[in-house]
Amino acid sequence: MSVLGYCSRWSFILNRCRGRRVLHLGCIGETDTSPEEKLNAYAAGRVLHPHLAAVCRELVGIDIDVAAVELLRSRLGERSILRADAEDLKSVGLDGTFDIILCGDILEHLSCPGRALEGVRCFMGPTSELIVSVPNSFALLANLRFTMGRFKDGAQHVASFSKFNLQTLLERHGFELKELYTAYNRPPTSRTSRIKVALEIGLFKLLPERGGTLLCTATRKS
Instruction: Return the pLDDT at 4.
Output: 93
What is the extent of the structural domain holding 54? Answer: 6-220
Residue 107 falls inside a structural domain: yes
Question: pLDDT by residue (tens digit) across 96-153?
Answer: 999 999 999 999 999 999 999 999 999 999 999 999 999 999 999 999 999 999 888 8
Residue 39 falls inside a structural domain: yes
Cβ atoms of 183 and 7 within 8 Å: the answer is yes
Cβ atoms of 70 and 33 within 8 Å: the answer is no
Instruction: Return the pLDDT at 80.
Output: 87
Which position has the higher pLDDT, 79 or 102?
A: 102
- Mean residue pLDDT of the chain comes to 93
Residue 199 falls inside a structural domain: yes
- Please tell me the distance from the alpha carbon of residue 222 to that of residue 42, in angstroms, as a whole number: 37
- Please tell me the distance from the alpha carbon of residue 65 to that of residue 35, in angstroms, as a whole number: 8
Instruction: Return the pLDDT at 134.
Output: 97
Residue 206 falls inside a structural domain: yes
Residue 12 falls inside a structural domain: yes
Confidence tier at 206 by pLDDT (50, 70, 90): very high
Question: pLDDT by residue (tens digit) across 156-174?
Answer: 888 999 999 999 999 999 9
Q: How far is CA 179 from the centre of its chain?
A: 15
CATH of residue 43's domain is 3.40.50.150
Residue 1 falls inside a structural domain: no
pLDDT over 90 (residue 90): no
Percent of the chain residues past pLDDT 90, beyond the cut: 77
At 205, is the secondary structure helix, strand, or coil? helix
Instruction: Return the pLDDT at 192.
Output: 86
Q: Please name the residues in contact with 173: beta carbons below 8 A apart, sequence gap of 6 or more.
A: 114, 117, 118, 121
- Please tell me the distance from the alpha carbon of residue 156 to that of residue 59, in angstroms, as a whole number: 26
pLDDT over 90 (residue 33): no
Instruction: Return the pLDDT at 1.
Output: 80
Confidence tier at 24 by pLDDT (50, 70, 90): very high
- Please tell me the distance from the alpha carbon of residue 209 to that of residue 129, in angstroms, as a whole number: 23
Q: Read off the pTM.
A: 0.94
Domain count for the chain, please give it: 1
Q: Which of 88, 93, 103 is nearest to 22 (CA)?
A: 103
Measured on CA atoms in the order 135, 139, 141, 144, is the torsion positive or negative? Answer: positive
pLDDT over 90 (residue 5): yes
- Please tell me the distance from the alpha carbon of residue 198 to that of residue 188, in angstroms, as a whole number: 9
pLDDT over 80 (residue 32): no
Cβ atoms of 7 and 181 within 8 Å: the answer is yes
Instruction: Return the pLDDT at 169.
Output: 97
Where is 147: in which H helix or E strand?
A: helix 140-147
